[in-house]
């Protein structure tokens, strides 16, 4: 997140605090989970979770996707897909290399257009699990940023649990900003975008029967 972005975010937050008062998001344990009925009704849920020992912030985004696990796994691990640029927050995406189950990618984002984020992602296909870590945090104004994405069946849906821990200047304000531009708005958009995109491209990730 660039200095300009942080400054704008700070001004927005100060205005919001002045006009509405400040109520921070409650902090949950990392084990927080909605019950099945709540998840089915809401489809996407965001928790602010207890940070790791170095401080910073954490979130847990849980959402349902209307495709089978195997289809979503192929979609989620397609690091060559041009569809990623249809996400309004992703300005550029490059696959740097793939070595076994380890993938290195570089992204630039619309809210930090002058910074290149280099991500290392480790795939665990049997568990349908991904571990990701920002490889160049200092270059991006972060102290650290890492997390996991767990994919599992949930009735006729796929349940996705995205957990992340991070720290950067302005992280507390970003996490607690309830209007557009804050963490919850960003994560809810991301969940909607993935649902819409995988539904649209589902046929590309289904294994076609041999004729």
Q: Which of 201, 176, 196 is nearest to 186 (CA)?
A: 176
Digitized pLDDT (tens) for each residue of the chain, 211 residues in all:
444 555 555 555 555 554 444 568 999 999 999 999 999 999 999 999 999 999 999 999 999 999 999 999 999 999 999 999 999 999 999 999 999 999 999 999 998 889 999 999 999 999 999 999 999 999 999 999 999 999 999 999 999 999 999 999 999 999 998 777 899 999 999 999 999 999 999 999 998 654 4
pTM: 0.87
Cα–Cα dist 198/17, whole Å: 37
Tokens of 138: 């200092």
Q: pLDDT value at position 14? A: 55
Q: pLDDT value at position 1? A: 47
Tokens of 53: 């020992």
Q: Are 77 and 123 in contact (CB under 8 A)?
A: yes
Q: Which domains does the chain have, with CATH numbers?
A: 3-205 (3.30.530.20)
């Amino acid at each position: 997140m660039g200095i300009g972005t942080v400054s704008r975010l700070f001004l927005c937050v100060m205005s919001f605090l002045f006009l509405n008062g400040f109520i921070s998001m409650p902090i949950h344990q990392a084990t927080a989970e909605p019950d099945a009925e709540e998840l089915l009704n809401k489809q996407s849920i965001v928790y602010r979770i207890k940070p790791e020992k170095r401080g910073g912030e954490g979130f847990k985004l849980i959402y349902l996707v209307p495709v089978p696990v195997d289809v979503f796994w192929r979609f989620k691990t397609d690091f060559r897909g041009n569809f990623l640029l249809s996400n309004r927050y992703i300005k550029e995406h490059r696959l740097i290399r793939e070595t076994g189950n380890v993938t290195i990618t570089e992204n630039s984002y619309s809210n930090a257009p002058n910074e290149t984020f280099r991500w290392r992602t480790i795939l665990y296909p049997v568990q349908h699990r991904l571990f990701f870590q920002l490889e160049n945090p200092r270059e991006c104004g972060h102290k650290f940023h890492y997390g996991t994405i767990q994919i599992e069946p949930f009735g006729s849906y796929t349940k996705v649990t995205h957990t992340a821990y991070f720290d950067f200047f302005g992280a507390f304000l970003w996490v607690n900003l309830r209007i557009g531009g804050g963490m919850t708005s960003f994560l809810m958009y991301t969940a909607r975008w993935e649902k819409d995109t995988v539904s649209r491209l589902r046929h590309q990730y289904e294994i076609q029967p041999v004729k």
